[in-house]
Structure 1
Amino acid sequence: MKKLNLLLTILIGLSILSCSSDDNDNTQTETELIIGIWKPVSELQVVDGVQETDSYTCGEVTTFTFLQNGNYTFTSFQQDDNNDCIEQNEYIISGTWEKLQANQYKLTTNFENINTSEIQTEIETKEITFSGNNSMTIFNDFDPSDDFYNISVTFERIE
């Protein structure tokens, strides 16, 4: 009986040790993956019925910043007639994010007009997928009957 108790104690001890948390401390959960500063690198779009992949104009300076507290900001730059990237300064774009389930996030976006201080709020559920720790794709709702629509934008982590 003493040997059986000793054997059970050893087996329980080994099973506890085998479940320790040293598995892979470098992996992030999906919720943690979104946290960081992201720049757009490409977009999949349809123009006049033809699907195209395009590099993101002004992607080096445009950023999507997701904070751990559930807030986010979007700083957008547009290309002017001289091909310079100029910050879009008509609106301040910010909001909150919340993970609903695997690959599903609720984004509540506030568009504050700089000139009128009017705020428009948009609430959307987006499919967001990750490829490793440094690539994120946001899929957009679209109407296939439109002449132009954006299907997805892929971002690269910069911080």
Structure 2
Amino acid sequence: MATILWCYLRNNAFKTSEKDYHLAADLTGQANHLGVTIQADIIKQKLPENNGGYTAIKFGKTDKAVYTTLSSDHPIDLTRYQVANCYMGRAGLINSGGASGANDLVDAVKTAVINKRAGGMGLILGRKAFQKPMKEGVEIIHAVQDVYLEKGVTIA
């Protein structure tokens, strides 16, 4: 039996007056690492939106290279850092699709492209697809499938 582990961060200390670090690549990467160490087969994580959580909240050990050499502010690089903390695919990374909104088709395809180009293995998009009329939901699911089946969308 496979284990899919939601490795979401929940800690009020991860929010500063300037930024919310619940979606920081370094902090979510550490959560992914913990999930892999307890032998989860697949890690589900939110798409990262920023980096530098450790330095901002002054917690844990890190190195400047994490923010300069090993990553950038580009969404694919931030997600690749999450994949690296899943031991480069030893446990597969799937990203969540997020809440349903006005641009669900575009948002889902963008998230799928980022995940695939970073080395991830999939996307869970329940609310984006299932809170829509059947036709729209199926269109979103097919568009995401097309991203993962498209040979031209490769690891960056």
Instruction: Report the TM-score when normalising by structure 1.
Output: 0.22
Higher relative contact order (CA 8 A, sep 6+): 1
More helix by share: 2
Q: Which has the larger radius of gyration?
A: 1
More strand by share: 1
Instruction: Report the TM-score when normalising by structure 2.
Output: 0.22
